[in-house]
Structure 1
Amino acid sequence: MKRWRCLLLGLGAGLLLGYQVALAEAPRTVVIGSDVAEILAMLDALEGVVGRDDTSQYPERVAALPSVGYLRQLAAEGILSLAPERLIVGAAAGPREVLAQLEAVGVEVVRIEQGANLAALPAKIRAVASAIGRDDAGDALVSEIEAKFATLEAQRQTTQGPGPSAMFLLSHSGMTPMAAGRDTAGQAVIEAAGARNAFASFNGYKAVGAEALVNVAPEVVIATRSGLEGIGGEAQLWQLPGLAMTPAGHARNLVVCDDQALLGFGPRTPTTLMALHSALRSAVTDTTNEEGCWRVTS
C-alpha cells in the first residue's frame, strides 16, 4: 500500500511539474485583433497572453488584460512595456512600420492574413491554430463553425419571400452616422442574414440625407450596441433627418447587435448571424439579450 501511495504521489508530482513547465514555456504574447483573441480563447490557448488591443474585449479573461491601444494605431513603446516575446496580429493591425520595429528588436510577429471576410473564417482559425501548434483543436473548431454556417443557410432556405430592406447604421460618439453601402462589413452581414441592403447603390460607408433615406425606404435599421449609444440611444436614432418618414421609422423597427460578435468575423459571428436572421424575421421584442442581435420595437 505504501509503495502504491509513493507511486501515485510521484506520478502526481510529475504531472504537476509537466504542467508548470508547459506554462513556463508559453511565450509572453500580445494579441492584436478581436477575431484573433476570440479564436485563441476558443482554442483554450490564452496561456502566456499578457496584453491585447482595444478591440479585443471578449471573453472577460481577455478584456481584463492591459491594452496596448487601437489595432490600427499601435505604438512600439506601449507594446514593449509588456515585455512580449510574441505578437499574434490580425490583418488590420498596424502601422506596418511599428510591426517592423518590433521584429527588429527580436519580438516574433505572427501575422494572420485572413481579414474581415466570412468565407475566410475557417482558414483564419486554422492559421491561428497552426501558429500556436494546435492544429487538431483548430480543425475541431472549424467543424463547429461550418456546422453553424450550414444551420444559417438552412434558416435562410426555410424562410418565405425576400428578406426585408435593411439599413446598416455605422456610428460612433462624435461622428456623423453613416449607412453601409457595397463592399462593407455591413452589407456582408445584411446579406448573410438573408436581408437586402437598402444602400447597395454606393460603395463604402456614407452619410445620407433625408431625401436619400426617404427614397430608399428601408424597412428595418440595424445598429450596433455601441453605435446606438454613440448617437444618444433609440430616441435620438429616430430623430435623424428623414428616418422617421421611412417604413422603418414609422414602425420603429430596429435590430441591435453586439459589435464584435457581429462585425468581428470571429467564432461568434455565425451564431450572431443566426440571431440577426431571426430578429429580422420576427416581431418579438427582446431587449434583455446580452449577446448576438435582438429586435427592439416601440
Structure 2
Amino acid sequence: MIRGWPLLLFLGSCSGQPAFAPGGIVSNNPCIDAILAEIAAPHQIAAVSVYSHESASASAPVGWARQFPALGTAAEDIIAAKPRLVLTGNLASAGTNAALAKAGLDVVTVGVAPTLEEDIAQVRHIARAIGRIDAGEALVTRIKQSVSTPPAMPHRPTAIIWQNGGFVAGEGTLQDELLRRHGFRNASSSFGLKSWGILPLETLIRNPPEVIFMPVNADGTEERAMSARVQLINNLRNKTRIVHFPDRLLYCGGPTTITVSAKLAKAREDILATQKKGAP
C-alpha cells in the first residue's frame, strides 16, 4: 500500500486512479465495501479498501471499487483522507481504531458475523450509519430470500467447505449455518474441528464426506499451487461430489451470502436430481 495520502493523490492523478474527495465515507474493509456496493449512493463514498481493488481479495465488484481511491488500514492514511465517517472492521487493529477516535473521526466498526442473524444486523447497522435504511432493507430481503427453506432431501448429505490451505468452516460460523440451511450436514465435527480448523488432505482422503466444496481462483480456474492436492482429491470423485467454491466466498457475509446460497442451492438441486434418478 502507498503510505501517505498526498503521495496517493499524486500517483492517482498520474495513473488514472480516481481523485479523492474529502468529507465522504471511507471504508478500509473489503466486506464493508461489498455492502456499500449494494446500498450506498456513489457520491457518498470517498475511498474503499485496498483489498477491493484486487480480484483475488475483493468481495465487492472490482469494477465498482476501482471508481474510488483505495485505503489500507494505517490510521495516518485514513486521518489524512479527512472523511466524515470511517467504516472499519477486524482488519484494523485496536490501535488504529483508537487513533481514529483520538483524531475525532466518526467510526463505525463491525466484526465477523458468526450467524445469519448477526450478518443481517450488520447490514442494517451500516445502512443506518450511512443514511440508506431503505436500500439496506432491500439487501436484507434478498439475503433472507436466498436462504429460505429449501425442499427436503430424502437424505441430508455430509459436506465440508475446504478452503485453500486446508481451512474448514466448522460449527459457530456463518458458513456452517448456510450449509445447514441448505440441507447439508457439516462434517467438520466428525474430524474433531471446532469453528475454523485445518483439515489435512490425508485425513480428508481417509474419511471423505459426501460433498466437498473446494476452492478455485477468483477467475474460476483451479489454484496452481493446489494442483497436486486437486489431483489427489480427484481420486475421491467416485466417493464424494466435488463442487467448485472460490475462496473469496468465505471472506464475508452481506451480499456474499446470496452468492454462497446460490452455490449451495445448485449443489442441492444436483444431488436431488441424482437421488431421483437412482430411486426405484
TM, length-normalised to structure 2 = 0.71
The answer to whether the aligner puts 1:68 opposite 2:71 as a matched pair is yes
Q: Match of 2:88?
A: 89
Q: Which residue is 2:244 aligned to?
A: 256
Letter in 2 for 1:216: N
Match of 2:215 among 224, 232, 244: 224
Q: Is the 8 A contact 2:33 2:49 kept in 1?
A: no
Q: Give SS of 2:147's match.
A: helix
The equivalent of 2:230 in structure 1 is 238
Aligned partners of 2:44, 2:67: CA distance in 1, in Å? Answer: 14
Moved more, 224-233 or 214-223: 224-233
Larger relative contact order (Cα-Cα within 8 Å, sequence gap ≥ 6): 2
1:269 matches 2:257:
yes
Q: CA deviation at 1:83?
A: 3.6
Structure 1 position 28 matched with structure 2 position 24? yes
Runs of 5+ consecutive residues of structure 1 not aligned to the other structure? 1-24, 285-298
TM normalised by structure 1 equals 0.67
Matched residue, 2:156: 163
Partners of 1:182 and 1:216 in 2: CA distance: 19
1:205 aligns with 2:205: no
Q: CA RMSD in A?
A: 3.2
Matches within 5 A, 1:137-148: 137-148=135-146
Please report how far the alpha carbon of residue 115 of structure 1 lies from its aligned counterpart in structure 2 after TM superposition: 2.5
Query: In the alignment, what sits opposite 1:121?
Result: 119
**Secondary structure, counterpart of 1:179 in structure 2:** strand
Match of 1:43 among 33, 39, 45: 39
Spell out, residue by residue over 1:154-184, the C-alpha distance to the aligned partner (whole angstroms, 9 max, x if none).
x2xx24222322232121xxxx433333334
Structure 1 residue 251, shift from structure 2 partner: 5.9
Specify whether residues 199 and 112 from structure 1 end up closer, same or farther in structure 2 by C-alpha distance, changes over 3 A only.
Answer: closer
CA deviation map 1:38-66 (0-9, x unaligned): 22222233323222224443132224433
Distance 1:122 1:179 in 2: 23
1:188/1:64 Cα in 2 relative to 1: closer, same or farther (>3 Å)?
A: farther
1:7 aligns to what? none
Partner of 2:278: none
CA–CA separation in structure 2 for the residues paired with 1:95 and 1:63: 25
**Bigger CA radius of gyration:** 1
> Would the alpha carbon gap of residues 229 and 117 (structure 1) be closer, same or farther in structure 2, given more than 3 Å must change?
farther
Q: Which runs of 5+ in 2 are unaligned?
A: 1-20, 53-57, 273-280
For the 8 Å contact 1:30–1:88, the answer to whether it is kept is yes
**1:80 aligns to 2:74 (yes or no):** no
Seq. identity, % = 24
Contact in 2 for aligned 1:145/1:270 (Cα 8 Å): yes
Query: CA–CA distance in 2 between the matches of 1:230 and 1:275?
Result: 17
**SS at 2:159 equivalent:** strand
